Amino acid sequence: MKKKINLTFALVILLVISIVSFGSVFLLLLMNPAVRFSDREGSAYGTSEKEIDAENINEVYLNNISMCGIDISTYEGEKIKLIYTDSSKFGVDTQVSDERLDVEISEKRGFMIDIFGRVGRTVKIKLPNTYKGALTIKSDAGSTDIYGDYTDINIDSDAGAIDFKGTADSLIVDCDAGHIDVKAKLGSADIKSDVGAVNLKLEGELKGKYTIESDVGSVDVRLPEDADVFAEVSTDIGSIDNRYKFENIEIDKGSYFRAKNKEGKADLNISTNVGSVDIE
């Protein structure tokens, strides 16, 4: 009887370990920028394209309740274009109201992960290069790539890599799991990451407040030369490595760093619970 109980207990423990292991692998795949979600029958379908008049639109609101990549860029045209896989499993719905374009991407049934990074299912949104409005993106899972110049960008992602290159008056990112890579000229930034590395390369003149909060993951920040900035950095578990030539380093104690360059007009605040911080 005792042996039977021990065997049952061992099987339960093995089942729990298996579930946790599968969940961890799935999460790591989502965090990998190379991972894309692709349709089982994608090769049997072509692509669809929608065009929307951009003249009176000041915001594009994208709700990705599917598991696919999002690719937003600008082009020399007058219409907003949406290009996506034409499949019975995959839907893209649009609606225009109050100067806002709403795009909902839905998964109807079935998906698979392409772990080798081959071209997978991606919704491409091409905006006229004259569009200088806002972008709001809510995504359940999948990579988000944005290129171009905008006013405000707000990204809320449950899982998936985020890549932005361009300019924005303000950038807000809230990511539960995924690598965040930003190379941009920004008026301000507020980046929050639960799990995943954050790379931020700031370009041009710094004017506002730039905040990075990370629970688990390294933070790498590149500042423009001769930036007028005040920096405050802290980490609970991890190191702080500063290679930027601040004129005045006030505190450098390993887990806490504070410095100022010029008059310190812009504010840079970085905090991590677990992870190293590099500034250059």
pLDDT per residue of the chain (280 residues) written in tens, 0 to 9: 544 445 555 454 555 455 544 455 445 444 454 444 433 333 445 788 999 998 889 999 999 877 788 999 999 999 999 998 766 666 788 999 889 999 998 876 544 443 333 335 789 999 999 999 999 999 988 899 999 999 999 999 999 999 999 999 999 999 999 999 999 999 999 999 999 999 999 999 999 999 999 999 999 999 999 999 999 999 999 999 999 999 999 999 989 999 999 999 999 999 999 999 999 9
- Report the C-alpha dihedral over residues 105, 106, 112, 118, rounded to 10 degrees: -20
| pLDDT number for residue 5 | 47
What distance in Å separates the CA atoms of residue 58 and residue 77, rounded to the nearest whole number? 16
Question: Closest Cα partner for 84 from 30, 38, 131?
Answer: 38
| pLDDT number for residue 57 | 94
Residues 206 and 236: beta-carbon distance below 8 Å: no
| pLDDT number for residue 87 | 61
CA 100 to chain centre: 22
| pLDDT number for residue 98 | 86
Residues 244 and 225: beta-carbon distance below 8 Å: no
Residue carrying structure tokens 């505190």: 251
Q: What single letter denotes the amino acid at residue 176? A: D
Residue carrying structure tokens 């965040």: 180
| pLDDT number for residue 251 | 96
What distance in Å separates the CA atoms of residue 180 and residue 33, rounded to the nearest whole number? 9
